[in-house]
Amino acid sequence: MEIIVRLDVVLALRKRTGRDVAAEIGISEQNLSLLKSGKVKGIRFETLAKLCEVLDCQPGDLLEASPASSG
């Protein structure tokens, strides 16, 4: 299994920018960008909770488990 980050989708649905959300939850825009691209090894529950609060969503809206792609 691999975890797919769907933050970009939720941001688009909420018509929010990464810059605004990053400032609102107190992380750098670069860190939010890395998270959006899935290039992180993990996420703090505190950060996930803040994202869910600001974007009015559940963790499952931001993260999706998918069978690992071969190749």
The pLDDT tens digits of the residues spanning 21-42 come to 999 999 999 999 999 998 888 9
Output the CA torsion 58→59→63→66 (10° steps).
Answer: -90
How much is the mean pLDDT over the chain?
93
What is the residue extent of each domain of the chain? Answer: 2-66
Q: Hey, what amino acid is at 12?
A: A
Nearest CA-CA partner of 50 in 28, 20, 26? 26
Distance CA 30, CA 3 (A): 20
Decide: 36 and 5 in contact? Cβ < 8 Å: yes
CATH of domain 2-66: 1.10.260.40
| pLDDT at residue 33, as a whole number | 95
pLDDT at 71 over 70: no
